[in-house]
Amino acid sequence: MEIWINPACSKCRSAIGLLDAQGAEYTVRRYLEDVPSAAEIRDVLARLGLEPWDITRTQEAAAKELGLAQWPRDAASRDRWIAALAAHPGLIQRPIITADDGTAVVARTDEAVREAISR
């Protein structure tokens, strides 16, 4: 499994701690440095079963600068949202764990981390 993290994020550090405590095997991706491509974001969205606006940190300064709150949340705007996430990875909700079974979870709670481990 792989976990997308920002090391400065307390939720990310908590998820890593729980993965370690459970003896899980995983790879860390510091997604602010190793920025996911639009194709990778599409793949993760498919694995999550979510839309790009569902994993966007809309309160970040970049989101406000882009005016994301006013962007349509529809199929026609989907690629625009994905492009924004690829261009501004700090807007991506974290941490995200991609499980070995092809699924993924936004792992902001211990329960979500445990769910990923159990897959």
Q: Could you list the active site residues?
A: 9
User: Where do we find the tokens 């997308």?
Assistant: 4
| CB neighbour list of residue 14: distance below 8 Å, 6 or more residues apart | 110
Sheet with 27-30: strands ordered across: 27-30, 2-5, 96-98, 104-106
DSSP string, 41-105: HHHHHHHHT--GGGGB-TTSHHHHHHTGGGS--SGGGHHHHHHHHHH-GGGB-S-EEE-TTS-EE
